[in-house]
Structures are given as structure tokens and as C-alpha cells.
Amino acid sequence: MNVFITGGCGFIGSHLAERLLGRGDRVMILDDLSTGAMENIAHLVGRPGFEYRIGTALDAPLVSEFVDRADLTVHLAAAVGVRLIVERPVHTIETNVRATEVVLAAAAKKQRPVVVASTSEVYGKSASVPFREEQDLQLGPTSHSRWAYACSKALDEWLALAYASEKKVPVVITRFFNTVGPRQTGRYGMVLPNFAQQALRGEPITVFGNGQQSRCFGHVNDAVEALLRLVATPAAWGQVFNVGTTTEVSMLDLARLVRDTAGSSSEIRLVPYDEAYPPGFEDMMRRVPDVSRLERVTGFKPETPLAQIVRDVVEDQRARLGLVTVPA
């Protein structure tokens, strides 16, 4: 199978490319390196069946060229990270909405199948947990750029489903919940790699707010497995799927787990939101997925233990910092 991945130099994209090449598929990557990095795919360059191009998913002729050559397109290119989203709302909206439109328009020419990556952010401020794919979405006011990402990704989903209905493009939508693992950077506000870096450096581990807000962290390998199973399951096409684990952890408890895993003596410091983000920033207290649809349709449920996920992230960050692994 020939697979085209937009944003393939990113965190999830590079793991997906690695997995596809490992099973004998051909992989074509397009990435503008705005948030991805060549180091994520350096080990893949030169392997048979691997091709990459530095460019943007907003380039319609280039995207069309790759989509036409592909048996499957996985659209991962997007603005990522809370800090980037808050600080660059124009970039967030343009990247997410326009790029998705370009990909879907190219796919519509020959009804090529597309996986559109979405996010748990689309659930917005809803307190109705666990989040189910068909429940109502609840976003904040347009005056708060915090919600631009959620709105843009929700629009991506509507656009994908509209192309499926009107133009017969086969689509699957994956709503990823806090996917983490090796190669993820903390540069744009991703909490787990940031905690790991701070702990390994002996710096204070900074937890925003009161630390009681909770999340469910899923391993990138499970996310890739879920995506590949969805693609291989005819019943999945035309649907939206939550992808993540259901193990909930507060940010304070996560900070403690990271500190213990890293063997660190870092203090844990609470930082008010108004010191970390622009005025009006809002956060959600809980974000928990219902993954019963994924399990029912594919037979797969992500279940990598949180302790293992944290170990993998800590060791990846340890290697990035050039530190020596401490024997268990």
C-alpha cells in the first residue's frame, strides 16, 4: 500500500511512517517543519519505499500529486500545542481549516480514502464525561483564542463528513486524547515532556492552576495501532472515533509520578494560569474518552499503563538531554 502522510515529520506522523515501512508499505511524507522536525524521520531516510518532501499541505498542486499516487492519505498536518494555539490563532485557524480543505478536495477527484486527525479539544468546555462521539460540543466565546483550535478542528470534522456525504470520499476521523511518547517535544506546551525535562534537570516542575485538572494519556504506539485497525475495518469508514486510554490522572499526581520515575528531587510548583497564558485563558477540569466505539468496531482498546508511558517519555527526554540512564 502507498500511504501519504501530511505532517509526517511530526510526533505521531513519524511513528506511523515507521510502522508502515516496517510492515512493507511505501510511505510519502509532506511537512513544512513548522512543528515537526527532520530528526524524527532521520532514521527512515534512505530506507526502501520512503520518500519525503519539505513543503506545506496548503500547496494544492503538491498535495494533489501525492494524493493521486497514494492508496491512503493520513492527514496529520495541524497547529499543535496549547501555547502555540493561544499565541498564534491566525496560524492555527488557517493551517487547520485550509489544509484539510486542500487534502479533501484532492481526494475527491478520485474518491481516495482519507484519515483526518482530530482532537479531544473539540469537546470544549463540556463536563459530561466520559466524552462520547455523538454528544453535543460546548465551546467558549470567540473572544478567547483558546477555543480557535477546537473550533477549527470541529470544522475539519464537519468538512470531512460533508465530503464523505456529498462527494463520496471515504473518510475516518480520529479524535486523539493526549497522545504522548518518544519524540514528542515540550516546545509548544505539551505537559508530559515538559515535566520530564524539568525533573531531569532538577528544575521545579511547573503545574498550571491548582493541579487538580485531570487527563488521560495514551501511548503513541497505541494511537498508531488504533489508526491502522480503523483503516483496515470497512465498518469504520464514515465515522468518528475517540482514540485514547481511560486512565485518568491529575496534573499534580502526574508531576509526582514523573519526578519519581526520573529519580529527581525537583519541587513541584503551582503556577496560576494568568502567569502562564494571556488573560481569559480557560482550561477543562477533566477530559476522559469513551472508547467503546473503537473497541466495538476494531476489537482494540488502548491500554498501555500510565507508568510505562511515563517511563518511555522520561527515557526519551533523558537521551535528548544527553544524560546517562540510571539502572533500575
Decide if 149 is catalytic: yes
Contact 93, 139 (CB under 8 A): no
Q: How far apart are CA 39 and CA 26, in angstroms?
A: 20
CB count in 10 Å sphere of residue 168: 9
Helix (H, G, I), strand (E, B) or coil at 243: strand
Catalytic residue among 149, 163, 273, 277: 149
Q: How far apart are CA 309 and CA 219, in angstroms?
A: 6
Distance of CA 281 to the CA centre of its chain: 21
Distance of CA 246 to the CA centre of its chain: 16
C-alpha cell at 58: 496548503
Q: How far apart are CA 228 and CA 40, in angstroms?
A: 20
Helix (H, G, I), strand (E, B) or coil at 312: helix
C-alpha cell at 95: 493551517
- Distances in Å between the Cα of 194 and the Cα atoms of 33, 81, 141, 242 are 20, 12, 29, 25
Contact 200, 320 (CB under 8 A): no
Helix (H, G, I), strand (E, B) or coil at 3: strand
Contact 73, 57 (CB under 8 A): no
Sign of CA dihedral 124, 126, 131, 133: negative
Q: Which of 23, 80, 57 is nearest to 224 (CA)?
A: 23
CB count in 10 Å sphere of residue 134: 7
The residues annotated with a catalytic role in the active site are 149
